[in-house]
A and B are shown apart, each in its own frame.
Chain A
């Protein structure tokens, strides 16, 4: 508030303000300013200011010829996981393609610090914010705040819970991942067998959608109900949790035909549990994501039979969208002059037959 003295509403109010209230306002402003300054010094920022000149054709939208620079700030959860690491790499790479983009990537340790980082970013007044929230619901208010301050927000993958929190959204189709996995497993097992599901982190939409798509489709694909989900437990996208959970399930279930895991990184722990038990001939396993490790194992054949690509290059698309929004342009191939509100990136089945086509998208 105190930062906008020109605001007419603010001005009229301020004259009528009691002294005490004025003091509180100023104090609050000071605290914000100090807090903000502290953040900008202490925060683990990584600034990528691009000076690369692009000689080749620029993707959709063109340069616009305005000479305007678009300042984009992206905020992502900690990239300690293969897929999230790929997200930040792809976003940076996309920003480097444009000489009219000034790009900054912020990494937050958790939802709270991500909210603080975004607050701070709003104060810096970038042209567009790109946010992959740690937790969509928790970060909705701060995204709404950005939108109200006139900074468009591009939301990646994990949805905000209010429609006015983002100008545009790009996401993978987690429900479809479940659908593809169910179709694949139903087909491989001829609708007959026991399936184990190792889920991601409990309580987030990614996990519930991947589970729901799977169970819904399994019912449709095998109306007789020949496939039984004998165990369904969260592995928190973490290899050592995947290992211990699978070890216990292997104890309880003497007959398993297929394992549907929600993530390639976590699946490595599950694979290890099965191998340690010497039961790798009994069942096969599928992953999600598209990591190099998974693709390599799929190519070699054996336990790891398929993964469902959840392409992290949606982050690159998000940066492209943010740039177009900043320039006030739309996709040149589409009729309207604005960027669409919602883009859904399709998932793909990667098996031994087609793994060579998808290896280019694999991440470490």
Chain B
């Protein structure tokens, strides 16, 4: 079964079947890329790469951008874009950090503060796009700038240390403390990986198995047709940017938990990684076609590339060229014959 949702017309029979086949191949193709990268790593670094510890490390790293990318999938499905997620991560982290104050030691204050603030920033995006009729690119570009500025303003350009929230001890964090989200484990699997999987599965269900998901796709596929068919277009568009902000808040928690601080310069260019993962996953930038499974594989692809190349200690310039070529190759490999 393909995890892809598409705003298909009423065409039936052969054409549809053929298209579905092409699309399915597309998803498998990216899975092949993920496997190939893992095999390459295992051959080049046989002692350290194919280990459970390393897989855990890569998934943990993937969780931050992964959560953002799920939100981005919904946004891009409506033919929108959210350039502000990285800045929202920075702003939400610093906001949560200053809430704690000097004496407070409550992880919950930080977590809720960060998520609420990111959701608030997301709803500012949502309002200006859905009701102010600002083009998503511009509205979120403005938030890209405002969010980063807020991150710097809120604590006078300084990072906020969150180490107190970790109780100062490393290794066995208390459940639901901030550190637990960064380094805690359940059955040997990092908590942040559970969060990523939960967000991915929920995202898949919502996009593929609910009326809301169909509406999101419909709005991206043909806005006018959706409107005529009775889809509350504005509310749908509003909701995806709020969702993107909310998930940016969750991503903030996962990042700050590992970093032990909230830095105003963190999250730099995360939006590009998130958008990149969504697009190589097969979601159409033009909207109307989205795949959560593809996005998840796209996130894994980026995480594998980054991890593998740092572990091989390649020089920066080689890394950049290689990363670009792998991404291009992955997209070419999965290009379905019937796209044009």
Contacts and interface: CB of A to CB of B under 8 A. Distances in A.
Same complex: yes
Contact of B311 (A238, A251, A293, A364): A251
Interface stretch (A28-36, A65-73, A174-182, A269-277): A269-277
A239 B159 contact: yes
A68 B152 CA distance: 37
A276 B258 contact: yes
Given A238-B268, A240-B255, A276-B258, A251 B53 contact: yes
B113 interface: no
B148 to A, nearest CB: 8
Given A79-B157, A234-B316, A252-B45, A272 B311 contact: no
Question: Interface centre among A254, A269, A364, by most B CB within 10 Å?
Answer: A269
B157 A268 contact: no
A249 B311 contact: yes
Contacts of A364: 158
Interface in A230-252: 230-234, 236, 238-241, 243-245, 247-252
Contact of B57 (A85, A203, A230, A251): A251
B257 to A, nearest CB: 10
A240 B310 contact: no
A333 interface: no
Contacts of A269: 259
B260 A278 contact: no
B200 interface: no
B266 interface: yes
B54 interface: yes
Contacts of A203: 316
Contacts of A341: none
Nearest to B60: A247
A249 B310 contact: yes
Nearest to A230: B313
A202 interface: yes
Given A233-B313, A239-B259, A276 B265 contact: no
A272 B60 CA distance: 14
Number of chain B interface residues as a range: 35 or more
Most B CB atoms within 10 A — which of A230, A236, A239, A249?
Answer: A239
B265 A81 contact: yes
A233 B310 contact: yes
A108 B5 CA distance: 44
B263 A278 contact: no
A85 B156 CA distance: 10
Interface in B244-282: 255, 258-261, 263-268
A101 to B, nearest CB: 25
B340 interface: no
A234 B314 CA distance: 10
A280 B159 CA distance: 22
A82 B161 CA distance: 14
Contacts of A243: 258-259
Nearest to B93: A240
A103 B60 CA distance: 48
A276 B170 contact: yes
A357 interface: no
A46 interface: no
Interface string A211-247: 0000000000000000000111110101111011101
B157 A80 contact: yes
12 contacts: A80-B152, A85-B157, A203-B316, A236-B268, A240-B267, A243-B259, A248-B307, A250-B57, A251-B51, A251-B311, A268-B260, A278-B170
